[in-house]
Amino acid sequence: MNKIKVGVVGYGVIGQRLADGVAKQEDMELIGVADVAPTLSIRALKEQGMPYDLYCSIDDTTALEQAGIPITGKLEDMLQKVDIVLDATSAGIGAKNKELYKKYGVKAIFQGGEKNEVADVFFHGYANYEKGVGADYLKLTSCNTTGLIRAVDCIHREVGVEKVAITIIRRVADPGDYHRGLTNALQVDKAPSHQAVDLMTIIPEVDATGILVHTPVTHGHIITVVATPKKDISKEELLKLFESHPRIRVVRLADGFLGNASLFRYARDLGNKRGDMYEIAIWEESIVKSGKDIMFAINIPQESVVIPENMDAIRAAMKMQLTREEGTKMTNQYLGMK
C-alpha cells in the first residue's frame, strides 16, 4: 500500500494531537512535525524518545539545539518529503506558511483560527466531505463549530432542519494556559456568534443564530441547541439517531455525567492519552421538545474534537476516498471510534 505522506506544522495543543491521529491511520505515514522553539510539548517529545522526527520551522535553530532537542532538518526539508500538511500554527501564521506550501507543491489543511480565504474549501467531514475531494487547500471549522455541525447535520440528514438557535458556554482557555484569567466573571460576546455564521456557510439551507458566553473554566465547552426540524421527530427517535452516530456519545446525568469535568475525568479513566475524547457528548436528559422544536445540550472537548475531521480532510484532499461514507468510515475505524 502506498501511504499518503503527512507533515504536521505547529506542535502545540492541536498539533500534537494531529500527529497522534495521523500515526493511527494505517494508510498514512507521519513524516514529521515542525515547530520553532523548545516548548513544553517539544520537551515532552524529547523525553519520550522523539517518536516523531522534528523539523525546525525557522532558520535559527539555536534555541532547539541549546535545549538538546534532536532536529531532523528544516521545514523546507520536510515539505520535500510530504504529500500534504496539517497546519496547526497560531492564527495568521498558516496564511504566511501557505506560500511555502505552494512553492513545494504541497497540499495543506488549515485550522479554525485561520480566515476562510486561506483555503479553497471550508470543510467538515460529515456535512460537506465531497466538496473537499481533490482540493489543494482546506480549512477546518473551529472546535465548537465542528461539534455543533455534527449534531445538526445528524438531524438534518434524517428529517431536515429549518433553523437553529444556540447558546455557547465557552471555556476561557485550554488547561495549562495562563494568558486569559477571568475570575468570578462571565463575559458575553455580541450576537450572532461566529459558530452560527460558520454553520450556515457549511449548511447554507439551515438558518442559524447564537450567543456566546465566556466562562472561567478549561475542560470543554457546552452548547445548548434549539432546532426546528422540517418533520416532527420524537425524543426516542432523536436518541436513536444520536446513538448511531460514530462521533456522538450519548451520556446521562443519572450515570454521573454531571458536566464537562465529568467527561474529562471519564476520558482519563478510559486511559485516553491526555484525557482526549474525539466524540461530542449529548446529555439524554437535556433532550426536550417544545411544540415542534427540539432542545438539547452537547459537550465539546475542545482540544481533540477536530482531530477526526482533520483526518477526513486528508482523505478528501488526497482522493483516498471519494465519498463521505467511505472517508469518515476509515477515519473512525483507525481512531477506534464506534
Q: Is the pLDDT of residue 42 over 90?
A: yes
Size (the chain), residues: 338
Task: Of 73, 87, 64, 63, give the one whose Cα is nearest residue 12.
Answer: 87
Q: 446521562: which residue's cell?
A: 252
* pLDDT single digits (tens) 211-263: 999 988 888 899 999 999 999 999 999 999 999 999 999 999 999 999 999 99
Instruction: Return the active site residues.
Output: 143
Residue ranges per domain, the chain?
Answer: 4-141+306-335, 143-300
The C-alpha atoms of residue 292 and residue 35 are separated, in whole angstroms, by: 50
Which residues line the annotated binding site for NAD(+)?
Answer: 35
pTM, two decimals, is: 0.95
Grid cell locating 72:
531532523
Phi and psi torsions of 253, nearest 5°? -55, -40
In words, the CATH class of domain 143-300 is alpha beta
- From residue 83, give the alpha-carbon distance in Å to each of 4, 101, 157: 6, 10, 33
* pLDDT single digits (tens) 135-192: 999 999 999 999 999 999 999 999 999 999 999 998 877 776 656 666 688 899 999 9
Which residues line the annotated binding site?
Answer: 35
Maximum Cα interatomic distance, the chain, rounded to a whole number of Å: 65
Q: Return the CATH number of 4-141+306-335, one of 3.40.50.720, 1.10.287.3240, 3.30.300.90, 3.40.50.10540.
A: 3.40.50.720
